[in-house]
A and B are shown apart, each in its own frame.
Chain A
């Protein structure tokens, strides 16, 4: 059951396997996840490489969000293996993933609107003053503000006010703060769960630019999206889930929306003479 994912990865001409360059920064092998009698994932493989945007797509119920929750430490898999830089790891909680430099941006804004940008960048990881005052928990606001400004500048995000509560920013700018926070703390992987779902056209374009700039800093970006046009614009690789399995790993050189929709719904398999996963099982 676990092995068949490999056979299904034999894909039409536009695709190739993921053995492109070196060890993936984050790897999943044969991940299954059961909720009672429901088998949400049935042996999924996944690879994310440094300096690449890997899109994870699939129809509703394909297992995307379950997969992301396993990869980011929210759920433990029923079986299967996670590897970071080729070494097996086990995530007990999101904090374990954070400790390995794996961050997640959620689709609903994970920011605190009443606080300023730097307080949001450092939430849960506040910098404290050196010495005794730090031991007493006194905040080092100057450092947090300076480092936040550096991170915003590096990612070319211009906020109109570094000191006002971010409630006064637009939705797109608030999402920028959430994305920059992940980029600032992620040493290896940033997961983005539908980062543009709540945004308008202009803001979406800006956010995708930001996603590219984060990729260019050398971390692996994993983009979960329903929007095939977004995926085609930014993704280097597209991993397609269907019915709890990875059924395709596509290199994005000239992929079309039709290719992706075909892979998601199974039309592509039929075209390429592949059998339906259920039949294979």
Chain B
């Protein structure tokens, strides 16, 4: 436990860490452990139930089921890396879906791509507006993120009920339904779109100044402020991004289910947070990755699907995932505690 090695090695002058360093870093990361767990799950179910689990129909279903959650979880990854919380995304999704569905109804002509485009604009705008409201409450009014987004979770859902008079809107443009059910090269459009959102989200998070500031703000907001980063403005942008993605997910959900699914999204924020935490993003902010979130979305999805195929009651998935989340965070703390004592 000596504080400083007497003769510490000089820093390497190479521009980038050498290959073995990078491999070592990647292998010791949470996404890697969790990726191994996911692969083992997939291997297990594929081996025991090759005809059902590994069928292209079933695989497509797993991806389809995961796609809406994945879009939400990308936003949640940004929020949590910045040390924040967003419980409102499920309600914002519902509100954006209702708002978009109503505007599309008013515009008329149900098989028109223009109508769908207007729907997208409405959904994205209302999602971003709720995000801006969250960001305002958190950065200007200084109400904690947990409370602010808990409040807007209730408010957005209530507003959605008011807008829709309490019943689902089931008239959705055919063009949007075609998007929700169509495929490109055998892959559902929804999966392709969710994959693109995830890819862009990962590139921006890990390769740009915006992403770097997200990590810095989450790791030490005061130091970030002193370094000249406008922390409040950055957080506001992140909550708007989270809302925007919820609005985007609303359109995907409308296309898939042809209804506004008022009752169907209460658990979305918790599922997104579970996925993000499983993927190794620290609750305290400053650490995390999009690839981890992808793994974290698919572990519960694969487990639920596999249990159904095995004839195990699917409720077991909830039990197992609950304990797995706790175990994952515990393992992460042990690992980090060891790192900090060095």
Interface residues of B in 196-212 (CB under 8 A from A): 207-210, 212
Query: In the complex, A94→B226 CA distance in Å?
Result: 8
Contact pick for B228, options A94, A128, A145, CB 8 Å: A94
Residues of B within 8 A of A170 (CB): 3-4
Q: A139 touching B207 by the CB < 8 A rule? A: yes
Residues of B within 8 A of A158 (CB): 7-11
Nearest CB in chain A: distance from B43 CB, A: 32
Does A126 sit within 8 A of B, measured CB to CB?
yes
Q: Which of A124, A145, A170 has the most CB of B within 10 A?
A: A124
Contact pick for B17, options A143, A163, A200, CB 8 Å: A163
Does A264 sit within 8 A of B, measured CB to CB?
no
Query: In the complex, A106→B227 CA distance in Å?
Result: 11
Q: B228 touching A152 by the CB < 8 A rule? A: no
Which of the 9-residue segments B62-70, B102-110, B216-224, B315-323 touches chain A? B216-224
Q: A203 touching B209 by the CB < 8 A rule? A: no
Q: A126 touching B3 by the CB < 8 A rule? A: no
Nearest CB in chain B: distance from A161 CB, A: 8
Q: Given A115-B286, A158-B10, list of 16 further CB < 8 A pairs?
A: A94-B228, A112-B223, A114-B282, A123-B216, A124-B224, A137-B209, A139-B212, A153-B10, A153-B11, A158-B8, A167-B336, A167-B339, A170-B3, A171-B3, A172-B3, A203-B4
- Also in contact, A112 and B16, with CB within 8 A (given A152-B11, A203-B4): no
Does A23 sit within 8 A of B, measured CB to CB?
no
Task: Mark B267-292 against chain A: 1 for CB-CB distance below 8 A, else 0.
Answer: 00000000000000010011100000
Does A141 sit within 8 A of B, measured CB to CB?
yes
Query: A residues near B, CB below 8 A?
Result: 94-95, 98, 104, 106, 109-115, 119, 123-126, 128, 136-139, 141-143, 145-146, 149, 152-153, 158-160, 162-165, 167-168, 170-173, 200, 202-203, 206
Nearest CB in chain B: distance from A129 CB, A: 9
Residues of A within 8 A of B22 (CB): 163
Contact pick for A119, options B5, B17, B216, B342, CB 8 Å: B216
- Also in contact, A168 and B223, with CB within 8 A (given A123-B229, A159-B8): no
Interface residues of B in 65-113 (CB under 8 A from A): none
Contact pick for A128, options B209, B220, B342, CB 8 Å: B209
Residues of A within 8 A of B220 (CB): 110-113
Q: A124 touching B228 by the CB < 8 A rule? A: yes
Nearest CB in chain B: distance from A93 CB, A: 9
Q: A119 touching B212 by the CB < 8 A rule? A: yes
Output the nearest chain A residue to B338 by Cβ-Cβ distance: A168
Q: A126 touching B212 by the CB < 8 A rule? A: yes
Query: In the complex, A139→B13 CA distance in Å?
Result: 19
Contact pick for A163, options B25, B219, B282, B287, CB 8 Å: B25
Query: In the complex, A149→B17 CA distance in Å?
Result: 12
Nearest CB in chain B: distance from A230 CB, A: 18
Query: In the complex, A25→B209 CA distance in Å?
Result: 33
Contact pick for A141, options B10, B16, B340, CB 8 Å: B16
Q: A160 touching B228 by the CB < 8 A rule? A: no
Query: In the complex, A153→B10 CA distance in Å?
Result: 8
Does B165 sit within 8 A of A, measured CB to CB?
no
- Also in contact, A110 and B208, with CB within 8 A (given A158-B10, A163-B21): no
Does B313 sit within 8 A of A, measured CB to CB?
no
Q: Which of B17, B212, B286, B342 has the most CB of A within 10 A?
A: B212
Contact pick for A202, options B3, B210, B228, B287, CB 8 Å: B3
Q: B219 touching A124 by the CB < 8 A rule? A: no
Residues of B within 8 A of A125 (CB): 227-228
Nearest CB in chain A: distance from B316 CB, A: 35
Nearest CB in chain B: distance from A132 CB, A: 13
Q: B208 touching A137 by the CB < 8 A rule? A: yes
Q: A162 touching B216 by the CB < 8 A rule? A: no
Nearest CB in chain B: distance from A115 CB, A: 6
Residues of B within 8 A of A202 (CB): 3-4
Contact pick for A160, options B8, B222, B223, CB 8 Å: B8
Nearest CB in chain A: distance from B88 CB, A: 26
- Also in contact, A162 and B11, with CB within 8 A (given A94-B226, A110-B223): yes
Residues of B within 8 A of A164 (CB): 25, 339
Interface residues of B in 128-147 (CB under 8 A from A): none
Output the nearest chain A residue to B203 by Cβ-Cβ distance: A138
Residues of A within 8 A of B189 (CB): none
Q: A172 touching B4 by the CB < 8 A rule? A: yes
Query: In the complex, A10→B207 CA distance in Å?
Result: 58
Query: In the complex, A136→B5 CA distance in Å?
Result: 41
Interface residues of B in 322-342 (CB under 8 A from A): 336, 339-340, 342
Q: B3 touching A162 by the CB < 8 A rule? A: no
Q: Which of A115, A128, A159, A200 has the most CB of B within 10 A?
A: A115
Q: B4 touching A124 by the CB < 8 A rule? A: no
Q: B207 touching A142 by the CB < 8 A rule? A: no
Output the nearest chain A residue to B217 by Cβ-Cβ distance: A112
Query: In the complex, A172→B12 CA distance in Å?
Result: 20
Q: A123 touching B227 by the CB < 8 A rule? A: yes
Contact pick for A123, options B208, B223, B286, B287, CB 8 Å: B223
- Also in contact, A112 and B11, with CB within 8 A (given A123-B227, A123-B229): no
Output the nearest chain A residue to B207 by Cβ-Cβ distance: A138
Interface residues of B in 225-280 (CB under 8 A from A): 226-229
